[in-house]
Structures are given as structure tokens and as C-alpha cells.
């Protein structure tokens, strides 16, 4: 099956048009025509080699929605015409304790990512949703609730689950004060979920020009991280901090914002982080934690929750031909929303 796409030909090259052959369906696979694909900061990190060597050309994209076109003979839950989504992973061992408990994202053997992983079916490099056709095992395909707009639903499959999962795990809700560090594609979703769960929500941003945008999302306050006064005034304020900054940074200023028994959860920086003084966590019994997307069961719960509470990302729909401009904007922290590629109308 010939797929049209945009791919990074090398770590230091802009994305360009690329055709490749998708593997054929197995008896357990679902094929879909891709309609929309969200743009994630992880796409940039992976394609640029920030997280290690990868195979090129790299076709990114793991916030994928589309319409089922074919299914394998053993597929029970899907049929042609269904509106579905595929997120950050397309396989795992299925046998380890993590997989059996529904945490395929933490597979003890190997998570097969939607792009730039080795497909266990045929050994080829997986290729993502910046393309016209997608194939994935049935278990890793999800129905989209009918009430969700397809374009807006796409970012839920990464930005949505990445923020929903830790907020649920640490039982954010009424009586809790939550700080969302960073107001990009992840951060603004964290605001929406935390507010819907009943928490008091503040945004902590290094960009003063994002203050008004944060307020438009209904936050209870904004802290400018470069302001010594703002940071001092917020000392010991937060029960939970969701850190969405997409690169390594000093945690020390943020640890000082935590209340006793508070937790800062890292979901953005997936790389070695600078050290911190142990006294900053010992005093107050504070915790530093991390969270990465969520399992398939939890992702389905997130989609249902988002539909029930009408929680959708702020998006800007683009054509694939504008992807390099979009990546530049993301790298320069210009977005307090999510780019979504209109794949179907780009080729």
C-alpha cells in the first residue's frame, strides 16, 4: 500500500514529501485513512535525534484520527467506516505484568512506538501519522466518541492522555491547588482537565505574553517564573505541579513552590535533568515523579471523559506543506495550543 507523507530525511534537514509502502494487514490489524494528525513536541525531538539515533527517513505523528478502510479477519471491534484514533504506541509484548495490568506504555519488554520503532510484525521502521494511511493492531486502535470533532480530538491521543493520566493518578480535585508549568500544547490541556476535576489551577509560565491566554482558559492565577516576586509569593502554595517544559531545566525554583507532601510530576522533559539539593524534597516530604502518556484502557477512559465534559484542545489546523513553519513556532514557544495537520486535504 503506497502511502504519501512528509518525512525528515536527516536530523538537520527540513521535512519533505516522501512516499513509502505500508505493510499489509495481518489478521489482527486495522487499516485507516488518516484525516488528521496532531503535531507534538516529541515529533521534533525524535526527528532531530535529541533522544538517540533513529532510522531515516522519519515519518512522525502519533495523534492520529481517521476512518477505518479495512480490517483483518480476526478483528472484532472495528469495521470499515468507523471513526477511530491511534496514539503514541502500536504494540507491546502483551505478556509482562505492566501490559497485563493495562499499562502498555510501561511495557517491561519493549514499547513499539507509532514511529521510529522496529515493527515486530515485519521488522521495518514504524512510520507515523504525517501520512495518508495507518495500520495498527486492533488493541491499539480506539473508537472516537461521536460528539468529538475529529480535528480537535487528534491531540487528545497524546497531549490529552499525557496530562489526564497524572492528574487522575495523583487524585487532583476539589480542595487541591494545582500549578501547570508551561502553557503549550500539553499545558493548556492540563489546565482544562484540572479545572474540570474541581481544583484551583494556576499557570506558571516564562512568557508574560501568555498570561492573558491563560486567563482565557479560566485559571485562578498566573505566575511569571522569571519574576522573583511572583515566585516568592507562591512559595509552599501548590499540592501538585504538572511540569510540561519540553527540555531539561532546573527544578529547584519549582520545588520551593510545593506545599508539604506536594508532588511535582514531569511529563515534558524526557532527558537528563540537572541535579537538585535533597534538602528541597526532604523538607516538607515532597516528591518528584514522572508520567508518560497512559495505557490503552486509560486512554479510552480519557476520550470518554473528554466527550462527557466537552474538553478539547485549542487548535490551529494546517496543511502538511506548512509543517516546517509549525515546527519552528513550537521550538520558539509561540504556541499555547496545538497544531493539527489536515492530512486528507493536504495531498
Q: Which residues contact 275 (CB under 8 A, 6 or more apart)?
A: none
Residue 22: name the closest of 13, 33, 14 by CA: 33
Instruction: Identify whether the C-beta of residue 209 lies closer than 8 Å to the C-beta of residue 202.
Output: no
DSSP code at position 332? T
Mean pLDDT of 265-286: 94
Residue 85: the pLDDT is 98
> Rounded distance, CA 25 to CA 5, Å?
19
Instruction: Categorize the per-residue pLDDT at 324 as very low, low, confident or very high, splitting at 50, 70 and 90.
Output: very high
Instruction: Identify whether the C-beta of residue 295 lies closer than 8 Å to the C-beta of residue 105.
Output: yes
Instruction: Categorize the per-residue pLDDT at 335 as very low, low, confident or very high, splitting at 50, 70 and 90.
Output: low
> Rounded distance, CA 38 to CA 107, Å?
24
Query: What are the pLDDT digits (tens) for 196-206?
Result: 999 999 999 99
Residue 258: name the closest of 187, 336, 192, 202 by CA: 202
Query: What are the pLDDT digits (tens) for 17-61?
Result: 999 999 999 999 999 999 999 999 999 999 999 999 999 999 999
Sign of CA dihedral 96, 97, 98, 99: positive
Instruction: Categorize the per-residue pLDDT at 337 as very low, low, confident or very high, splitting at 50, 70 and 90.
Output: confident
φ, ψ at 32 (rounded to 5°): -135, 150
What percent helix, strand, coil does the chain show, rounded to 5?
A: 30, 25, 45
> Rounded distance, CA 93 to CA 236, Å?
42
How many percent of the chain have pLDDT more than 90?
92
296 burial level (CB within 10 Å; 0-12, 13-18, 19+): buried
Mean pLDDT of 64-81: 98
Residue with cell 495537520: 341
List of domains in the chain: 2-158+313-342 (3.90.180.10), 160-290 (3.40.50.720)
- The pTM of the full predicted model, rounded to 2 decimals, is 0.95
How many percent of the chain have pLDDT more than 70?
99
Q: Is 314 helix (H, G, I), strand (E, B) or coil?
A: coil
Residue 1: the pLDDT is 84
Query: What are the pLDDT digits (tens) for 211-235?
Result: 899 999 999 999 999 999 999 999 9
Mean pLDDT of 286-300: 97
Report the range of poorest mean pLDDT among 23-27, 328-332, 343-347.
328-332
Question: What is the chain's mean pLDDT, rounded?
Answer: 96
Instruction: Identify whether the C-beta of residue 154 lies closer than 8 Å to the C-beta of residue 62.
Output: no
Amino acid at each position: 500500500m503506497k502511502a504519501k507523507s512528509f518525512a525528515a530525511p536527516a536530523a538537520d534537514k527540513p521535512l519533505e514529501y516522501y512516499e513509502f509502502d505500508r505493510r499489509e494487514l495481518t489478521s489482527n490489524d486495522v487499516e485507516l485513512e488518516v484525516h488528521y494528525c496532531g503535531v507534538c513536541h516529541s515529533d521534533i525531538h525524535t526527528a532531530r535525534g535529541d533522544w538517540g539515533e533513529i532510522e531515516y527517513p522519519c515519518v512522525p505523528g502519533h495523534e492520529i484520527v481517521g476512518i477505518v478502510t479495512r480490517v483483518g479477519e480476526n478483528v472484532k471491534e472495528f469495521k470499515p467506516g468507523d471513526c477511530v484514533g491511534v496514539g503514541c504506541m502500536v504494540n507491546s509484548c502483551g505478556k509482562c505484568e505492566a501490559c497485563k495490568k493495562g499499562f502498555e506504555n510501561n511495557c517491561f519488554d519493549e514499547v513499539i512506538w507509532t514511529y521510529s520503532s522496529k515493527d515486530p510484525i515485519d521488522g521495518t521502521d514504524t512510520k507515523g501519522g504525517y501520512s495518508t494511511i495507518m495500520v495498527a493492531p486492533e488493541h491499539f486502535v480506539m473508537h472516537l466518541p461521536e460528539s468529538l470533532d475529529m480535528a480537535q480530538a487528534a491531540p487528545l491521543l497524546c497531549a490529552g492522555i499525557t496530562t489526564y493520566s497524572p492528574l487522575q493518578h495523583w487524585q487532583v480535585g476539589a480542595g487541591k491547588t494545582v500549578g501547570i508549568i508551561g502553557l503549550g500544547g500539553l499545558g493548556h490541556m492540563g489546565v482544562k482537565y484540572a479545572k474540570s476535576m474541581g481544583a484551583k489551577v494556576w499557570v506558571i509560565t516564562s512568557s508574560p505574553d501568555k498570561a492573558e491566554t491563560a486567563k482565557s482558559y479560566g485559571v485562578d492565577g498566573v505566575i511569571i517564573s522569571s519574576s522573583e516576586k511572583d515566585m516568592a509569593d507562591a512559595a509552599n502554595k501548590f499540592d501538585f505541579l504538572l511540569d510540561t517544559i519540553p527540555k531539561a531545566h532546573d527544578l529547584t525554583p519549582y520545588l520551593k513552590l510545593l506545599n508539604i507532601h506536594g508532588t511535582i510530576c514531569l511529563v515534558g522533559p524526557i532527558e537528563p535533568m540537572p541535579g537538585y539539593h535533597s534538602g528541597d524534597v526532604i523538607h516538607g516530604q515532597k516528591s518528584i515523579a514522572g508520567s508518560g502518556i497512559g495505557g490503552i484502557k486509560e486512554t479510552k477512559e480519557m476520550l470518554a471523559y473528554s466527550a462527557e465534559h466537552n474538553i478539547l484542545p485549542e487548535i490551529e489546523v494546517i496543511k502538511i506543506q506548512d509543517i516546517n513553519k509549525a515546527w519552528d513556532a513550537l521550538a520558539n514557544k509561540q504556541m499555547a495550543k496545538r497544531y493539527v495537520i489536515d492530512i486528507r486535504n493536504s495531498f
